[in-house]
Amino acid sequence: MKYTLKILFLAFTIALHSCRGTKSTSKEIVNNVNFEVNLLDRYNDTYKVTVTPPTLTEANSIYQFASTAPGTYQVMDIGRYVKAFKALDKNGKELETTQISTNQFQLTNPENISKIEYEISETWDTPVTENKIYLMCGTSIEKDHALINGQAVFGYFKEKQGNPITIKLDFPETWIVGTPLKKNSDSLYYAEDYDKIVDSPILLGNLTKASMNVQGTDVDIYTYSKTGLVTSSEVLESMKNMLLSASGFLHGLPVKHYTFLFHFEDSTNGAWEHSYSSEYIYKEDKWENLEQQVVEVAAHEFFHVVTPLNIHSEIVDQFNFITPVPSRHLWLYEGTTEWASHMMLFRSGLKSTDDYFKTLSRKIMINSKYFDSKVSLEDLSLTSYTKEGNKQYGNIYMRGALVAGLLDIKLLDLSNGKRGYIDVINDLAKEYGPNTPFDDATFFKTFVKKTYPEIEAFIDNYIVHANALPIKEYYNKIGVDYNPVTNTFSLNASPSAEQLKLRTKWMAPITL
């Protein structure tokens, strides 16, 4: 994820992240949970949802709404938005249900339930006293479009989080649907489980669509633009260059298909990544005015395909929608991703050296001015779901990215210019992949084993603890001068042979 942080009158773009479809067979239909969402009736800004479950037993006697969602690091408590929750038997007679906690509905005699009906309010326009959900992670229903993030519309029956899901959407004929979800042979959207639904946002309405193939990857772009200022075909070229840059950085694109969902209306809030898609919420403007910041954020969101998708701990792998459980590795999921997004644009020439240096300076300034310098990246990870911790969360895009940049220099230095951070990341992605999580508690040790003994002290100083960052000393190693008084970077005009060797690898150009 990457959200846009508004501090005083300055708005800084920061970014957010997270999942898994196919044809149904008759066997699966027995187990499928079927949802129907009536978007023809948008009265009261609520989604009218009908759930047709498979046969239920006592073990399934709770209908669960999400407390949070992967990659958001925020408490959502979706149960807050639920209205008129009803369970009905096959004769349409209402059965008893009780809301036993914010996100849980107890079902009496679940074996008699033929369907569940409820309304759920959009998160954008529904006032709440705390834990306001980021726009890109929430829902919006308007006259000419709607945004669905799965965890904010759908729930699951206890012990059926892993059941396949089908979705029927009823919407006006002229609307276009943008989603990474595929349809099954019955023309219903299909997902292999609840996690996949949460990982697959749906933007529908008065959209434009453009498609392309980039080095074997099918890319779809859907855009809602309030007054039509931005069209998908305009955005296409910028996304193509960003993806080519990512391909050079990662030695090929790691997904076979990818969907971009853009929403340009009245507010800017940032973006949320998924396994095969990402969605962006920005205030509508001409594309030329939005391009630079949106491309940088798109680079960030796309890089999440590497981490956490291909490199993550068991906490991300077996996501707990009931109780938020923090991972200690936001330095990797978000910090490294933020570093990588700027670095890949820099190395491919889509971002100039000067602009790269300005990005570093800005992160240093925001880190020191707006965040608590005593909170380490590990603390920040472990407290992101608390009120105090959430205030520090934005620093993962500042200090987290700066630390990843220093780690890159340290690795280049230790390997004599042979193996920088992206080389380590590419190796880790190959070794782990989407189905093999690492152990959250011991990954620092693993990372040291896969690199150099000296990395243990680096992790201890700058990730586990919040020691002052050795910016000047590290950048000097690669022939980049840092002036802490003016907070500016420049290339050393007469670097030593050693500095030049490391700098050449550090800047290693990617050919588009």
- Binding positions for Zn ion, rule: CB under 5 A: 1-2, 15, 17, 334
Residue 15: CB minimum distance to Zn ion, A: 5
CB contact burial 306-322 (16+ within 10 A = b; e otherwise): bbbbbbbbebbbebebb
Cβ proximity to Zn ion, 145 vs 328, nearer residue = 328
Token representation of residue 416: 């004599």
CB of 330 to Zn ion, least distance (A): 9
At 417, the amino acid letter reads: G
Query: At residue 270, what are phi and psi to the nearest 5 degrees?
Result: 120, -150
The conformation of residue 110, written as its DSSP 8-state character, comes to G
Q: How far is the CB of 228 from Zn ion (least distance, A)?
A: 29
CB of 271 to Zn ion, least distance (A): 8
What is the nearest approach in angstroms of Zn ion to the Cβ of residue 281? 14
Q: Which is nearer to Zn ion, 340 or 364 (CB)?
A: 340
- The dihedral through the CA atoms of 343, 2, 316, 221 has a sign that is negative
**Nearest partner of 282 among 268, 296, 303, 261, judged by Cα:** 268
Eight-state DSSP code of residue 438: B
The dihedrals phi and psi of 249, each to the nearest 5 degrees, come to -70, -35
Q: How far is the CB of 297 from Zn ion (least distance, A)?
A: 9
Name the helix (H) or strand (E) containing 178: strand 176-178
Q: State the nearest-atom distance from the C-beta of 492 to Zn ion, in Å.
A: 32
Which one-letter DSSP state was computed for residue 502?
Answer: H
Cβ nearer to Zn ion, comparing 15 with 424: 15
Which of residues 15 and 165 has its CB atom nearest to Zn ion in the complex? Answer: 15
Q: In terms of CB distance, is 3 or 447 closer to Zn ion?
A: 3
User: Which stretches within 282-398 are classed as H helix?
Assistant: 287-303, 314-317, 330, 337-347, 353-370, 377-382, 387-392
What's the number of CA atoms in the CB half-sphere (13 Å) around residue 67? 13
Q: Judged by CB, which is closer to Zn ion: 189, or 333?
A: 333
Instruction: Find the helix packing angle between 287-303 and 232-250, rounded to 10°.
Output: 40
Taking the least distance from each CB to Zn ion, the nearer of 42 and 391 is: 391
